[in-house]
Structure 1
Amino acid sequence: MLHGSNEINRLANDLTAAPLKAQRRATTALGKAVKDIEAAAKTLAPVDTGFLRSSISSDVTVRGSAIRGEVGPTANYGAYVEGGTRRQRAQPYLRPATDMIVPRYEDAVAQITEDLL
């Protein structure tokens, strides 16, 4: 139960600040997740010359309330290595890395949500 206008004002301020705090925490969590996926993908990527591995990078962008994370290679043959071709078997590196890290990211987002409620 709230008593007095100071507590009501504090609650109003907390509620007003909640979306920004949540976005900052979500951006941090996504940034960690994409860096972890990048590191795992580099470890899992097959190496011939090392170009594919060295071309894997990650990025997080924020536009308004939208947060976007990307991880992948710039090597033009990265998708062929990941998925295979008629002549070459698949050597997945990005999907397994993502599968390893996403549950931790989902836990972090759940914690952010829980903390806000």
Structure 2
Amino acid sequence: MIKHKSNLQSVLRALDDAEERALTGVGEFVRSEAQARSPVKTGELRDSNDYKVVSEEQKVLIGNSTDYGLWVHEGSSRQRSQPWLRSSVMENVSRIKNLIGELMRL
């Protein structure tokens, strides 16, 4: 009789680690792009771009923590929109997909 040893737990752990690596890599990449594209007056807006990995939902949140970031990004009656966060993602979709592919390799 052949004895069977399951590697399921180590495989699942490796997949979880790869997913965490990919989400973190995407967050770091997009934050870097956002910092390069942020409108700069004092530097506060640029320096307030960040990301948060939400592993249990398999996603990464990209945002800006300033009180006025939303108004700069989306615009207002006083100023035109400057959607640096959106463009940091949308203009890099293929690079982000490639990055995920690279970082998910076991």
Q: Identify the TM-score tier after normalising by the shorter chain.
A: 0.7 to 0.9
**TM-score for both structures, normalised by structure 1:** 0.72
| Aligned match for 2:75, one of 62, 84, 107 | 84
Unaligned runs of 5+ in 1: none
Q: What's the offset of the Cα at 1:69?
A: 1.8
For residues 52-75 of structure 1, the C-alpha deviation after alignment (integer angstroms, 9 at most, x for no partner) is 111112222434xx4442221111
Q: Which has the larger radius of gyration?
A: 1
Q: Which has the higher contact order (CA 8 A, sep 6+)?
A: 2
Residue 59 of structure 1 aligns with which residue? 52
Unaligned runs of 5+ in 2: none
Q: % of aligned pairs identical?
A: 27
Residue 26 of structure 1 aligns with which residue? 19
Compared CA separation, residues 67 and 95, structure 1 to 2 (3 A): same
CA distance in 2, matches of 1:110, 1:51: 33
**TM-score for both structures, normalised by structure 2:** 0.79
Computed over aligned residues only, the root mean square deviation of the Cα atoms, in angstroms, reads: 2.5
